[in-house]
Amino acid sequence: MKKVAVIPGDGIGKEVMEAAMLILENFNLSFKYVWLEAGDEAEKKYGRALPDETLEEVRKCDAVLFGAAGETAADVIVRLRQELKTFANIRPARTFKGVPALHENVNMVIVRENTECLYRGLEFEVADGITEAVRVITREASERIVRYAFELARREGRKRVTALHKANVMRKTCGLFRQVFYQVAGEYEDIKANDYYIDAACMYMAMRPQMFDVVVTTNMFGDIISDLAAGVVGGLGLAPSANIGEKHAIFEPVHGAAFDIAGKGIANPTAMILTACMMLRHFGYPEYADRIEGAVEKAISEGKTTPDLGGELKTMEMANVVLSYVEP
């Protein structure tokens, strides 16, 4: 029995979580769901965006299924990643038939290091009007994330892993990351390895995204490039993600709380549903994940979607369509 902490969070997080849970609860899974609070509303209610009770319970769980957080995102999801030591942030990006996109036939995975870099939050005010931030890149964390990327490529039958960095400017930090990348790549002769400077990679991804298969990079670069990848294939409403650690995992859609549409029932549940599929695969239910993803693809291809994708359905209406398409 796997114990899953379900945290809807704020804004549309509640709506898309309801959609995903409608589908998950249709299957006879060996999961125990524990519903918890975190986010802006929790801060107003308890004085903390991530209440001690929530964090204590999360530590007892095998995974977190998370919806969205608003202004307190750094206090919630970033802290959860740190507390649960989820070192790998996995963000797939692929095109769907029926969704307008900049390019066709895109299918890549961004593997982002999740524990260090500038996102360690080591910022200081050293003098009036002068601030600084410390960028931490270690051999241990770099090797761990690069090896994860190559193992993912091998597991999914992918052919290439590309490292993104800025070693021509940040010669020590990015230089170490690139050095480690090629050292690890030497152990995977069946998979091609190459690298690009992050700025050039952004141009290539906008112009020829098909050249990317698995991308591995540092924390901040990974955050930026994964949103670019999502934009290339049609938007954040299609972008799932997973945070993987040795003992725990966190599954969350890439999009935020979207307060401008919260409560209207029109939020696109696709990213949340696909995020749930990533959780199913993580826990050894690939056949269920395949069936749900196939149902999502069918709904999208038939235009049975929410308004952001050109359809007319409400959030739960689309969820029910997907559920009806899941093979019995």
DSSP assignment of 3-53 equals EEEEEEESTTHHHHHHHHHHHHTTS--SEEEEE---SHHHHHHHS-SS-HH
Strand partners, 62: none
**In the block, residue with structure tokens 């209406």:** 317
Strand partners, 74: none
Residue 131 belongs to what H/E stretch?
A: strand 130-133
Average pLDDT over residues 296-321: 96
Cα–Cα nearest to 20, from 302, 272, 229, 190: 272
How crowded is the C-beta side of 32, counted as CA atoms within 13 Å?
8
Q: Which CATH architecture has domain 1-87+237-328?
A: 3-Layer(aba) Sandwich (3.40)
Instruction: Indicate the residue type of 310.
Output: G
Q: Please list the active-site residues.
A: 119, 166, 199, 223, 227
Residues of the chain with CATH 3.40.718.10: 1-87+237-328, 101-233
- Determine contact, residues 293/242, Cβ cutoff 8 Å: no
pLDDT at 328 over 80: no
Question: How far is 251 from 283, CA to CA, in rounded Å?
Answer: 12
- Sheet with strand 242-245: strands edge to edge: 31-35, 2-9, 63-68, 249-251, 242-245, 86-94, 107-113, 214-217, 160-165, 192-197
pLDDT at 74 over 90: no
Average pLDDT over residues 260-276: 96
Instruction: Work out the angle at residue 325's Cα, subtended by the Cα atoms of residues 307 and 238, and round it to the nearest 5 degrees.
Output: 40
Looking at residue 58, its pLDDT comes to: 97
**In the block, residue with structure tokens 């919260």:** 262
pLDDT in tens, 272-285: 999 999 999 999 99
Longest dimension (CA), the chain: 65
Looking at residue 318, its pLDDT comes to: 98
Looking at residue 104, its pLDDT comes to: 93
- Sign of the C-alpha dihedral computed for residues 168, 171, 177 and 181 taken in this order: positive
Question: How far is 213 from 156, CA to CA, in rounded Å?
Answer: 11
Question: How far is 75 from 72, CA to CA, in rounded Å?
Answer: 5
Question: How far is 288 from 61, CA to CA, in rounded Å?
Answer: 22
Confidence tier at 219 by pLDDT (50, 70, 90)? very high
Confidence tier at 236 by pLDDT (50, 70, 90)? confident
Looking at residue 119, its pLDDT comes to: 87
Q: Is 258 left (phi over 0), alpha (psi -120 to 50) or beta?
A: left
- The CATH number of the structural domain formed by 101-233 is 3.40.718.10
Question: How far is 317 from 328, CA to CA, in rounded Å?
Answer: 19
